[in-house]
A and B are shown apart, each in its own frame.
Chain A
Amino acid sequence: MQRSTGLLLVTVLGLSATTTACGASEPAAPSPGGAAVTITVACQPAKTAPKERAAWDDDVAAFMKAHPGVTVKSTDQQPCFDPKTFGPKLAGGQMETAFVVPVTNYADVIGKGQALDISAYTGEIKNWDDLRADVRALVTKDGKVYGVPNVHYSVGLVYNRKLFAQAGLDPDTPPATWAEIREAAKKIAALGPGHIGYGEYSGGNTGGWHFTQALYGRGGAVLTGDGKKAAFNSPEGRAVLQTLHDMRWTDNSMGSRLLVGWESLMMAMGSGKVGMMLGAPDVVTDVVTKFRGDVADYGITGFPEAKASLSGGEAFMINPRATPEQAKAALQWLDFRYNTVGKGRFDFARGKTLGNPVGVPDNDVYGDSATGKAIQAEREKNATLPVRNYAPYVRAAAGVPPKAEPAHAQELYAILDVVMSGVLSRQDADPGKLLADAEAKADALLAAKG
């Protein structure tokens, strides 16, 4: 209640600022045609993260002050992108002007005409040319740009430094091979009941997604080159499952619980009893901000023996029904909040005062361009954590080629989820058979899809 009143107040102030600005006849007034424009933007932090939310609200106020005539309304649906509501929201005219789309759904959204062609407005993002070219290519189709890449990362190994120390392992030399991971997991699990050396999950398709991460890391592929056949029933696929099966049932280093879904593993990670898990640096951020992990405990290193990495990330796209004024204002907002060094999300000084784990290299959307370097410098300057904790990840990630998700990702993940939950829940599971079954299912699915 209070917040909306505050917002209203800000809006009123912003409007009166417009009139004064016009009265002062500033020639460079950016207000489009003097007309007021209202945009809605997604991803306001949830109320469960009050500090983040306050920072967001400050940004909105600051942006509106700097852009008279533009009114910004925020939505805080969690998660920002919900496939369940995406289609209906768009159809029902409820979609935000600027909404977020995860990399899994780029092709889908662009292909269906659910995002606006913003080629004409990319100039509003001042650092546009510094965004990684290969990441920009993901949101470009037939030469037209449909989104502003927002986050990009590759998968690494997140680990709990404190547990490593307790188990007599050196937190500064995290495991670099699967054999080392197995050894480390055993030692951490031996710390006592409730300790999980290596965490993994399944259920609701998430297991299939993580299987794909592991498979790509080992150099495997989900589909053949032409996308017509399944390719995961391979030595790499079997190795992924065999390792998990050994850790779960031979070493007993994965806990006794079958974790269902991403959140349950994150909860366990946040409680400080999980040694390692596959994940991108954003796992560290989430564990700390949403799952109450202790900032100092978490480190990240490269994916062991990585051959390739499943691309992860998200982009902002614009509602296809937005007016040109709205689209322009929305891109200005994205520029301000997400793409300006020292502002919005890259305001690391503020992040530091909020107690965020500043220093986590959770986004290489700018690669090593000038902007990317400036961001990294800012980040290191305000780091609340020894940046060298993440150096192994940064080093490893730079050399690993990104690999996109397979076509029909969700359907395939549903099939692979079965495989993953099989090895994690059954001691007598046979990885070869699980993969052969899944392969038959996937081939049938692909044949049906044509």
Chain B
Amino acid sequence: MRVLKRNLTAYGFLCAALACFAVFAWYPMVREFVLSFQRTNLVDPPAWVGLDNFAAVVRDPAFGTAWLNTVAFTVLALVCGYAVPFVTALVLNELRHARGYLRFVVYLPVMLPPIVAVLLFRWFFDPGPGLFNQILGLFHLPGLAWLDSSSTALVSLVIVSTWMNMGSATLIYLAALQNIPPELYEAAELDGAGILARIRHVTIPQTRLILMLMLMLQIVATMQVFIEPYMLTGGGPENATVTVAYLMYQFAFTYGDGYGQAGALGMMLMLVLLVFAAFQLRLTRDEREVTA
């Protein structure tokens, strides 16, 4: 009886959350799956179309390009957004002055609404009076076309993305670095390890888990890139910045009744990302075992 009462009370406290999750988290996951096999315009009853949506998505002229762009964006964003924050964190951790200021400044862009960063950079990228070409001009370098050329547009998006996101990774690494026991460095030093050797044999092994975890997190996050192409390039020039998420948006809201096709593309993205997410889950478990 007491057990029953306790359970009732507990589920009483849980019911709001259960309802929210059921309707706005679990059901949409199921709906996503169902949607990808249906044709629907939200008004008429949906019709089952089997694998038609998947076929249509694969045949879309921008399908291959979108995946290539997304992978290229992710790789580039990792080169900048992964290595740069780690090196920054390493250096910040060595500094004994202005630590508060540096941490504040690095994280500042993360606090801005993304739309602010994106519209600000749209202006910086202006090939005429835009800040970037003016700086290049200062060093007597030729200006770039930035967003206006299919060869630089994607890189430009990576720059915005890195600028507005790298702060969180930096601070997370910084916290991880501070958790490394100093004795390890002292021991390494006694063994005659130089600075680089200490990084290699102490710092990196000690932060390995968090590094891997962040790698997975960042892959999953950057593969969903949407705001940048949506606001800055409209997928152009020449489809150079069409990403999977952007194409999904196009299917759902620009092309005829494409919710089902957007759903099918979403399923594909989900399958790819689940691989990374599963890997991340394992790492988290490992980490908990290590730290427990």
Contact = CB atoms under 8 A, between A and B. Distances in A.
Given A113-B43, A445-B61, A257 B257 contact: no
Interface in B7-53: 41-44
B62 to A, nearest CB: 7
B42 A410 contact: no
Contacts of B61: 414-415, 441-442, 444-445
A208 B265 CA distance: 23
B256 A422 contact: no
A419 to B, nearest CB: 8
Nearest to A425: B237
A28 interface: no
Interface residues of B, number: 33
A424 B127 contact: no
Contacts of A203: 233-237
B237 A424 contact: yes
B236 A202 contact: yes
Interface string A398-421: 000000000010110011011001
A448 B55 contact: yes
Given A256-B127, A408-B256, A422-B238, A414 B62 contact: yes
Interface residues of A, number: 39
Contacts of A204: 234-236
B237 A90 contact: no
B147 A448 contact: no
Contacts of B43: 87, 90-91, 112-114
Nearest to A261: B234
A445 B60 contact: yes
Interface string B245-257: 0000010011111
Nearest to B250: A414
Nearest to B259: A87
Contacts of B147: 258, 260
A83 interface: yes
Contacts of A422: 150, 237-238
Contacts of B224: none
B236 A260 contact: yes
B93 interface: no
A207 B236 CA distance: 10
A426 interface: yes
Contact of A88 (B42, B239, B255): B42
A426 B149 contact: yes
Given A87-B41, A87-B43, A444-B61, A418 B238 contact: yes
The residue in B43, B148, B238, B255 that gathers the most chain A C-beta atoms within 10 A of its C-beta is: B238
Nearest to B251: A411
Nearest to A258: B148
B59 interface: yes
A408 B257 CA distance: 11
B234 A258 contact: no
A194 interface: yes
A47 interface: no
B277 to A, nearest CB: 29
A87 B55 contact: no
A184 B162 CA distance: 44
15 contacts: A91-B43, A202-B234, A202-B236, A204-B234, A256-B128, A257-B128, A258-B147, A410-B256, A421-B238, A424-B237, A425-B148, A425-B236, A426-B149, A441-B61, A444-B59
Given A414-B254, A424-B237, A426-B237, 8 more contacts: A87-B42, A112-B43, A203-B236, A204-B236, A257-B128, A258-B148, A418-B238, A422-B150
What 6 A-B pairs have minimum CB-CB distances, sorted nearest first?
A204-B234, A203-B234, A441-B61, A258-B148, A421-B237, A91-B42
Interface of A: 83-84, 87-88, 90-91, 108, 112-114, 194, 202-207, 256-258, 260-261, 408, 410-411, 414-415, 417-418, 421-422, 424-426, 441-442, 444-445, 448
